[in-house]
Amino acid sequence: MMLNENCVIDARQLVKIYRNGAEQLKVLDNVSIKVNKGDFIAILGPSGSGKSTLMNILGCLDTPTAGQYYLDGVDVLKASDNELADMRNQKIGFIFQKFNLLPRLTAEQNVMLPLLYRGMAEEAARQLAREKLTILGLGDRLQHRPNELSGGQQQRVAIARAIVGSPQLLLADEPTGNLDSKSSGDAMEIFKELNRRGNTIVIITHDIEVAEQVKKIVYLRDGKIYEN
């Protein structure tokens, strides 16, 4: 099977069915999506459309009931658990609505974590974390814990953590959902700048104002995709 070397995400005819006894719920219905290097895409849909399920599959956090999924040319569905863990750590940067920062760690320590999991030396990881946090305007907040930061600052820490390992792909799940309008605008400007620098970004959102700021919108409704 020929694969496009420029393609980061190549998902084909994804189906996801949840079963509860004799009942079954089809959350994704033959979803196909391609994302090329340098793309900046929003997957837009209402609550219950299947957005989170699709993100979990694209992020190698879940597997489909049927279909095919290639991430950077690798057949994800044939990968072992260890290989999937390596993909998540090295190829994907995750940004979540609730930030998912560890409360007992400082901003610097939160950003260092993905690098330490890779086996990077602590001092090298610290330098990279400081560099990314400083770029995102948090050079004076390195030793602050999440509860000492505003929502917008916490999201910047989460973005720094996602990009610190230079992943192939950034997956952002409702990244502005817990932010006020100013912080939301600031976060989107960061994403735009990251994309200008070459990052491939997929944003999952229900917010049309967020979606309209990206290069391409993919609509998801009732588990099916519609491209504009």
Would you say 7 and 70 are in contact if contact means Cβ atoms under 8 Å apart?
A: yes
User: Please, how many CA atoms are within 13 Å of residue 215, restricted to the half-sphere of its CB?
Assistant: 16
- Number of domains composing the chain: 1
- Model confidence at 216, pLDDT cuts 50, 70, 90, reads very high
Q: Domain range spanning residue 147? A: 101-166
Does a structural domain hold residue 132?
yes
Distance, CA of 140 to CA of 103 (rounded, Å)? 18
Does a structural domain hold residue 200?
no
Does a structural domain hold residue 109?
yes
Does a structural domain hold residue 111?
yes
pLDDT, position 228: 59
Distance, CA of 224 to CA of 29 (rounded, Å)? 6
Does a structural domain hold residue 20?
no
pLDDT at 84 exceeding the cut of 80: yes
* Strand partners for 220: 225
Does a structural domain hold residue 2?
no
Does a structural domain hold residue 46?
no
Assigned token pair, 171 = 């997956």
Q: Is the dihedral of CA 131, 134, 138, 144 positive or negative?
A: positive
Residue type at 188? M
pLDDT at 31 exceeding the cut of 70: yes
pLDDT, position 177: 86
Query: How does pLDDT run across 121-166, given as a tens digit for each residue?
Result: 999 999 999 999 999 999 999 999 999 999 999 999 999 999 999 8
- DSSP codes joined into one string, 66-110: EEEEEETTEEGGG--HHHHHHHHHHTEEEEETT----TTS-HHHH
pLDDT at 3 exceeding the cut of 80: no
Query: How does pLDDT run across 164-213, given as a tens digit for each residue?
Result: 998 989 999 998 888 888 889 999 999 999 999 999 999 999 999 999 99
Q: Which residues contact 65 (CB under 8 A, 6 or more apart)?
A: 15, 16, 17
How many residues make up the chain in this entry? Answer: 228
Q: What is the CA radius of gyration of the chain?
A: 18
Distance, CA of 225 to CA of 56 (rounded, Å)? 16
pTM greater than the 0.75 cutoff: yes
Does a structural domain hold residue 44?
no
pLDDT, position 168: 86
User: Please, how many CA atoms are within 13 Å of residue 62, restricted to the half-sphere of its CB?
Assistant: 17
Q: Which residues contact 161 (CB under 8 A, 6 or more apart)?
A: 93, 101, 110, 111, 113, 114
